[in-house]
Amino acid sequence: MTASIHAQDRPQTSEGQQGNAAAAGRNVGALKSISGNTLVLKTDAGPEITVSVPEGTRLVRLAPGQTDLKNAPPITLPELQVGDRMLVRSRPGDNGSLLVTTIVVMKQADVVQKQQHDRDDWQKRGVGGIVSAVDAAAGTINVSVNPALSIVVKTSKDTGFLRYAPGSIKFSEAQKGTMDQIKTGDQLRARGNRSSDGKELAAEEVISGTFRNIAGTITSIDAANNTITVKDLLAKKSVVIKFNADSQLRKLAPQMAQRLAFFLKGGAQAVQGGAPAGGQTATGGAAQSSGAPAAGGNAQGPRSGGAPDFQQMLSRIPSVTLADLQKEDAVMVVATQGNAGGDVIAITLLGGVEPILTASPNGMGAAALFSGWNMGAPGGDAGPQ
């Protein structure tokens, strides 16, 4: 049997019929509510769609990552829960209505489990940094993980490419990309298996984006408009930076800032295993194992005498607010490139970096040091395919 689907609360006028016709095909989204055999789908495109499901309509359950519906088991209406992901395929019916041909359900619990698995895998087998060179013909990308470590990311025809949406570092908002989009200076994360010496990574997935690195001192703060003005050491000019609800602000403890500055000067031994000397983490607790993945990317732990994993170290730095910042504070900011109106929006800000900027006057070494931190680990978002 088929089921009818229509735009919620929309009368079947000529305009409404055209709207339904435009919605025919496939609608993907999350289940907002369920009442008996009536479902309300909040589509990823924005509109809400009401689906009436008569007895006998076929529904199937798809596991995250699964693409073949042949082996998808059936699912019943009582098993559905708010938040479940759904794909509704339909075709135009009579009088502007839509006839549902397939309803594919991905349980929210399955999605959460898959996302956690992907997060763990990105943390275990992922590497991030600033792109220093691209060889499109060879399919290789040189990535500076920190001032002491560079890795060659090797891609193939099976490598999946994603590109961060403008002004966003959310994995869920990333779009399909290509090798051609990646350029020197971009920030990039790749997931795959490392070579035995740890210098190469065979990428299964690559996500990249173009962001702006700003390092300097705060010259003014406008709390009313959520902005600060920074004298940028890299661009040699002042820039107004705006903060929104997604902006992240953190501040280094003085001891940790000194240790990182010493590393920039060549003292990698000062910060072994991703924790400051004295066995203290950035949050003041007991030291935790947070070194870069061992060769092959299948384990984690301190790398004796090598560069620590700054991405994990910095993730433990306490958050602060705009009110905690003061004029003349030294900061490092990762921000959007700026839109047509000139707004530069902060993605992440790190305060307490005076010793680091002193150790790296032009800010380039410091930018490489923190390159992976601002992007975080992708969340492994999934939905019906």
Residues 127/206, Cβ–Cβ less than 8 Å: no
Q: Residue 59 phi/psi, 5° resolution?
A: -125, 140
Query: pTM for this structure?
Result: 0.62
The H or E element spanning position 122 is helix 108-125
Per-residue confidence (pLDDT) for residue 364, from 0 to 100:
58
- Whether the CA torsion 231, 232, 233, 237 is positive or negative: it is negative
Tell me how far apart the alpha carbons of residues 212 and 240 are, in angstroms, rounded to a whole number.
Answer: 13
Residue 21 structure tokens: 């016709």
Tell me how far apart the alpha carbons of residues 179 and 315 are, in angstroms, rounded to a whole number.
Answer: 29
Report the amino acid identity of residue 63.
A
Residue 108 structure tokens: 């929210």
Residue whose C-alpha is closest to residue 249's, from 177, 353, 164: 353
Residue 211 backbone class (left: φ over 0; alpha: ψ -120 to 50; beta: rest): beta
Q: What are the structural domains of the chain?
A: 3-106 (2.40.50), 119-209 (2.40.50.320), 212-287+307-369 (2.40.50.320)
Residue whose C-alpha is closest to residue 256's, from 348, 334, 350, 129: 350
The H or E element spanning position 152 is strand 149-154
DSSP 199: S
Rg (CA), the chain: 25
DSSP 300-363: ----TTS-B-HHHHHHTSPB--GGG--TT-EEEEEE----TT--EEEEEEEE--HHHHHHSTTS
Per-residue confidence (pLDDT) for residue 384, from 0 to 100:
37
Report the amino acid identity of residue 37.
N
pLDDT one digit per residue (tens) for the chain, 385 residues: 334 344 333 333 344 444 444 455 788 899 999 988 888 889 888 888 887 776 777 888 988 877 778 888 888 888 999 999 988 877 665 655 556 777 899 888 888 888 888 888 888 898 888 899 999 999 999 998 877 788 999 999 999 999 988 777 777 788 999 999 999 989 899 999 999 998 999 999 999 988 888 889 999 999 999 999 999 887 788 999 999 888 889 999 898 888 888 877 764 444 444 433 333 333 333 333 223 333 333 333 334 344 455 656 666 788 899 999 999 999 988 888 765 556 788 888 999 999 988 887 655 566 666 655 555 555 444 333 3
Which long-range CB contacts under 8 A does 340-345 form with residues at least 24 apart? 343/242, 344/212, 344/214, 344/239, 344/240, 344/241, 344/242, 345/167, 345/241, 345/242, 345/243, 345/244, 345/247
Per-residue confidence (pLDDT) for residue 16, from 0 to 100:
40
Residue with tokens 């790190």: 350
Tell me how far apart the alpha carbons of residues 162 and 169 are, in angstroms, rounded to a whole number.
Answer: 11
Per-residue confidence (pLDDT) for residue 287, from 0 to 100:
31
Per-residue confidence (pLDDT) for residue 19, from 0 to 100:
44
Per-residue confidence (pLDDT) for residue 143, from 0 to 100:
92
Q: Residue 217 phi/psi, 5° resolution?
A: -115, 145
Residue 26 structure tokens: 């496939």
Residues 239/333, Cβ–Cβ less than 8 Å: no
Tell me how far apart the alpha carbons of residues 291 and 123 are, in angstroms, rounded to a whole number.
Answer: 11
Q: 99 forms bridges with which residues in the sheet? A: 4, 91
45: how many CB neighbours lie within 10 A of its CB?
Answer: 10
Residue with tokens 């602000």: 249
Residues 78/35, Cβ–Cβ less than 8 Å: no
Per-residue confidence (pLDDT) for residue 59, from 0 to 100:
86
Per-residue confidence (pLDDT) for residue 271, from 0 to 100:
42
